[in-house]
A and B are shown apart, each in its own frame.
Chain A
């Protein structure tokens, strides 16, 4: 008696042979033969016009997290005519395969944003093994320097620079974050302009600072938003709270902390032409600082004051970008959703946008005066 009939034996053999064939390498490289790239920086070349300088930030694997106090990185820098060429040369600077699957951050020099941004981003999107959920950031002086910064608080297994954006550590309305796919989408779509965060370092590279941003539009110098305008942008675009406004009245200074924000907007049209932007903001918050005693009875009054203050700030942001003919919020996109598509939908919008009146309504609802009156 046989335990297995012939068919089963054949089946088993084929499975075993296939396992052997597949296990014996066949193109897979083991993890100890790979180096993980966590960040890529692209700068314009210092030597030749039109060339790029590519910086790769590699993380060196550690044996045990407990033993390592500081993370260890290696940096590879090379200049090439295009990014691929530089990356290929960099492969010869190390004995291991470069693995792009863990790249979390792409730093681009500000100088490249005006004309070369499509070339630069194309390579990263085209590579299938790169994540589309990598973050894109802008470096003012040099992307290499930003990548080389190693903040003091950095732990062995986490990279500071990505934790700015991923909303697990710090969460702040001053930080704009843009995924690669999001940036690509907004760059190439009509009616919305992408916003990228600016990452800065202090002089000795022990600190990273992210609180400004840039509105990018192909073919023109990117428009920089100051920290305050960045905050307004984040409020409107991402409904983010967690910041404060200072209100002065009757010789009294109070600071209002905004918790939750809800923004709604629509485009008013008449005769198939946009005539106004109608925006409504609802906020809830509390009073966080005051130099005199407050009364809960007066909350209504403080609401009113806060509304005026918020209105002033938001309008300042909106008119600034409008004057520059930039549209980071995506009003144009909203307009397009309301109209059957034809050739001059966008033309009409572009003509009307810079002079479009903004009708803003702010509704602040303060909940408390904190733990003391």
Chain B
């Protein structure tokens, strides 16, 4: 469970979240982040609380059991689409970043295709295997990730005065956009909608767990927002398209095999964003599978519904990569973050309904 939450938190460092935060840097980001921290932890707590009532059941199963058809189909479709988009945002952001910084000559489509094909296999795995992949890759990457952040934070060119200047902008009222972007990093818990079927026992979520999640969340938010400011200054931080990549490019490893930290950073985040993409799309696929089942799509006694969705996901993402530009990506993903409270609302509403029906 922790892996799901932490991977999403870390993956967002490379997605659009820091960009939105730095753009809003003159609009009271600090309060928004504090608020987002509280709200995020509370939501996480309630989501787990609800799903504990139905341990061993996934979200579609719960809804199918306890609610009527006209209710659960739109809800699940909405969730599926949201989750697909969440994955796609990570994908497109990473592809753009890859072409800007690493391989300028490679066409966008090739990079996307390489991603999509690998992830497609991941999506078709059993949910259990997805969890194991997640765990293995994350545990392997964690030491390097910690090394990266320690290296960046202890760099002598990180000017803490700028961080303090940014903190001195605390007197501004928070903005909704930065709040929704900041709270988005806590979204990882919602992956439980599918993976709950593997948590046969009740998840413990007491004071210890809450404090771990809120500490990690606070640290991640702090790093996400303040460290790029320390490297790039407060005045012009909002002009940075990839605040975090530029930040990692500002660190020099004097005696390292690779002098530029940015390459390690990009490779590590290749793994992280792959995980995040895999989890999101897998959940999305499972959600769609739970309601759509095309009996006609058969080939040698095998139903091809899931393959159909995998191809569809790939096709849509490739189409989007070629159509969208960086500005639009940023605009749409910030819209996407903005409507996320609605997502939570629907989740709680449907769970609440299911819970009441289940009691009756």
Q: Which residues of B contact A341 (CB under 8 A)?
A: 165, 168-169, 171
Give chain A nearest CB distance to B272 CB in angstroms.
20
Chain A residue at minimal CB-CB distance from B157: A182
Expressed in whole angstroms, the Cα–Cα distance for A179 and B251 within the complex equals: 10
A28, B105: Cβ atoms under 8 Å? Answer: yes
- Contact A333/B161 with A18-B117, A128-B100 known, Cβ cut-off 8 Å: yes
Partner of B168, one of A26, A133, A340: A340
Chain A residue at minimal CB-CB distance from B242: A128
Give chain A nearest CB distance to B118 CB in angstroms.
8
B233, A337: Cβ atoms under 8 Å? Answer: no
Partner of A189, one of B105, B110, B235, B260: B235
B252, A339: Cβ atoms under 8 Å? Answer: no
Expressed in whole angstroms, the Cα–Cα distance for A182 and B247 within the complex equals: 11
Chain B residue at minimal CB-CB distance from A130: B249
Chain B residue at minimal CB-CB distance from A29: B105
User: Cβ of A334 < 8 Å from any Cβ of B?
Assistant: yes
Expressed in whole angstroms, the Cα–Cα distance for A190 and B137 within the complex equals: 43
B103, A167: Cβ atoms under 8 Å? Answer: no
A333, B165: Cβ atoms under 8 Å? Answer: yes
Q: Which residues of A contact B101 (CB under 8 A)?
A: 128-129
Give chain A nearest CB distance to B253 CB in angstroms.
10
User: Cβ of A336 < 8 Å from any Cβ of B?
Assistant: yes
Dominant SS at the A interface?
loop
User: Cβ of A93 < 8 Å from any Cβ of B?
Assistant: no
A185, B232: Cβ atoms under 8 Å? Answer: yes
Chain B residue at minimal CB-CB distance from A18: B117
User: Cβ of B356 < 8 Å from any Cβ of A?
Assistant: no
Give chain B nearest CB distance to A294 CB in angstroms.
36
**Interface bits A167-196 vs B (CB < 8 Å: 1, else 0):** 110000000000101101110111100000
A131, B117: Cβ atoms under 8 Å? Answer: no
Which of A26, A186, A339 has the most C-beta atoms of chain B within 10 angstroms of its own C-beta?
A: A26
Residues of A within 8 A of B (CB): 11, 14, 18, 21-22, 26-29, 128-129, 131-133, 166-168, 179, 181-182, 184-186, 188-191, 330, 333-334, 336-342
User: What are 5 A-B contacts with C-beta separation under 8 Å?
Assistant: A22-B114, A27-B110, A133-B251, A181-B157, A336-B168
Beyond A129-B102, A132-B246, A340-B171, 10 additional contacts (C-beta under 8 Å) are: A26-B106, A26-B107, A27-B105, A27-B107, A28-B106, A132-B249, A133-B251, A168-B254, A188-B235, A341-B168
